[in-house]
Amino acid sequence: MTLSTKLYDEAVRLFPGGVNSPVRAWRNVEGTPLFLVRGRGASVTDADGKSYCDLVGSWGAAVAGHAHPRVVHAVQQAAAAGLGFGAPTAVEVELGRAIRDAMPAMERLRMVTSGTEAVMSAVRVARAFTQRPTILKFAGCYHGHSDGMLVRAGSGPMTFALPDSAGVPESVTMHTAVADYNDAEQVRAYVAAKGSELAAVIVEPVAANMGVVPPADGFLAALREATRACGALLIFDEVITGFRLGRGGAQKRFGIEPDLTCLGKIIGGGLPVGAFGGRADVMEQLAPVGPVYQAGTLAGNPVTMAAGRETLALLDDAAYAKLEALGARMAAGLETILARHQVAGCVQRVASMSTLFFGIERAATLTDVERLDRKRFRRFFFGMLERGFYLPPSPFEAMFLSLAHGEHDVDELLNAAEDVLRRDSDAGGA
Ligand SMILES: *Cc1c(COP(=O)(O)O)cnc(C)c1O
């Protein structure tokens, strides 16, 4: 019995499913999770002392690699100065400034403690500003676990969405509509019919929570146009893409300015964080200036802010060039291997995040993604694990590279993937 298994046995008696967030339970690969004790650079070490090259990177937050000395030093200094005061601090101003310099559309922002909270609060502000009730989201985009975002499509975007979790009443989800990702026509039709009730359209500008699904040409521009036409706001949920796709996030990369932006993950340097912001006239709806209540005892925590500030300081042009090149090398290598072994699948990538979808040629919508080959992914996942690569334990997630990864790591990963897929093909893909 491994130490991870022992810990898991106790954990299931403490936490539902043994975890504090569902995807960590490895249900999507029908396994039991490894318990990690240490991370350094591109590698993580489990409770049994085995090390892996990590492609999860704290679900994208660890863009600088684990325990980057500069980030750790900043955290130590901040901690020694006091773990938090519930009062304004200089370091929140420093991180806020760094964010706004990178994303000028965030004229005003507010720090929170998770991406969920960022979205929940952005939605509240959007509703208050427009004095309208409805939010339009896209199937397959994840915006945290607040009630109104836990929805699945009803019989089409014109009808209201259905709860996608027990415990969420229909009286909440009736104010959310769901359209297909990459389908601008549905959005135009919705706006034409019900635009006067629409507070905001919220989107992951690159979807990364159903695996990586890039926006189709013109999709984001169509959202910008449709929202402007009916007086609704456009919210970019850049919790993953912010500071991942480049300093300016997806909004800079695709040249579309949203009214509100949600951030999380990277901006906390690995500590719990979220932020939302945007147009000053919209954000000034927030208390204590305006009528929208929103607050947080631990929001803007100085230790978190220091970790975020130091992480963003590492992310210069050279850093993004490196991440882009590594991402390209990995995706091209994986595609070559799929072709060589005649494995059906595709690799979708934007910058340093990518997903290998088995069994489908392309994924533009959640419907496409749902057709992927889960069994093949499961075999691939465990084959890679055995060879020392810790991939996301679900076929519906993105692999993230960090500044600590090098060409050598990518090449080793490709060798391992080749070996796994060759043996899998030899075994008849059974
Ligand atoms: C992770 C994520 C969230 C939720 O953030 P938490 O910090 O887990 O609450 C929201 N939106 C997107 C796009 C995310 O990837």
Q: Of 59, 116, 301, which is best to mutate to test ligand 1, by the most ligand atoms within 8 angstroms of its C-beta?
A: 116
Distance CA(261)–CA(235), nearest Å, equals 6
Q: Which of 143, 149, 150 to mutate to test the pocket of ligand 1 (most atoms within 8 A of CB)?
A: 143
To the query of whether residue 419 is one of the catalytic residues in this protein, the response is: no
Question: What pairs with residue 162 in β-bridges?
Answer: 152
Ligand 1 binding pocket includes 116 (Cβ within 6 Å)? yes
Report CA-CA distances (Å) from 275 to 124, 200, 291: 14, 18, 19
Residue 336 phi/psi, 5° resolution?
A: -60, -40
Q: Is the CB of 232 under 6 A from ligand 1?
A: no
The radius of gyration computed from the CA coordinates of the chain, to the nearest angstrom, equals 21
Rounded to the nearest whole angstrom, what is the distance from the C-alpha of residue 142 to the centroid of ligand 1?
7
- pLDDT at residue 132, rounded to an integer: 98
Instruction: State if residue 163 touches ligand 1 by the CB under 6 angstroms criterion.
Output: no
Q: What is the pLDDT of residue 102?
A: 98
Q: Choose the catalytic residue: 46, 54, 137, 142.
A: 142
Catalytic residue among 137, 190, 259, 265: 265
Task: Specify the amino acid at residue 184.
Answer: A
Ligand 1 neighbour 270 (Cβ under 6 A): no
Assess whether the C-beta atom of 58 lies below 6 angstroms from ligand 1: no
Q: Whose alpha carbon is nearest atom 15 of ligand 1?
A: 240
Low-confidence ranges of the chain (pLDDT < 50): 430
Cβ of 209 closer than 6 Å to ligand 1, yes or no, is yes
Ligand 1 atom closest to the CA of 116, numbered from 1: 9
Q: Looking at residue 112, what is its pLDDT?
A: 98
Task: Please give the model's pTM, rounded to 2 decimal places.
Answer: 0.98
- Residue 261: per-residue pLDDT: 99
How far, in whole angstroms, is CA 46 from its chain's centroid? 24
Q: Which two tokens stand for residue 73?
A: 């030093």
Q: Which helix (H) or strand (E) holds 426?
A: helix 407-426
How far is Cα 371 from Cα 389, in angstroms, rounded to an integer?
25
Is 375 a residue of the active site?
A: no
Supply the residue whose CA is at minimum distance from atom 14 of ligand 1.
239
What is the 75 CA–ligand 1 centroid distance (Å)? 23
> If you write DSSP's letter for every residue of 175-210 in order, what string do you get?
TEEEEETT-HHHHHHHHHHHGGGEEEEEE-SSB-SS
Give per-residue pLDDT as tens, 345-391: 999 999 999 999 999 999 999 999 999 999 999 999 999 999 999 99
pLDDT for res 429: 56
**Length of the chain as a residue count:** 430
Residue with the nearest Cα to atom 8 of ligand 1?
A: 115
Distance between Cα 341 and ligand 1 center (Å): 35
Closest approach atom of ligand 1 to CA 59: 1
pLDDT at 159: 79
* 265 part of the active site: yes
What distance in angstroms lies between residue 144's CA and the mean position of ligand 1's atoms? 5
Alpha-carbon span 355 to 202, nearest angstrom? 23
Q: Ligand 1 within 6 A of 237 CB?
A: yes
Q: Does residue 186 contact residue 180 with C-beta atoms inside 8 Å?
A: yes
Tell whether ligand 1 has an atom less than 6 A from the beta carbon of residue 75. Answer: no
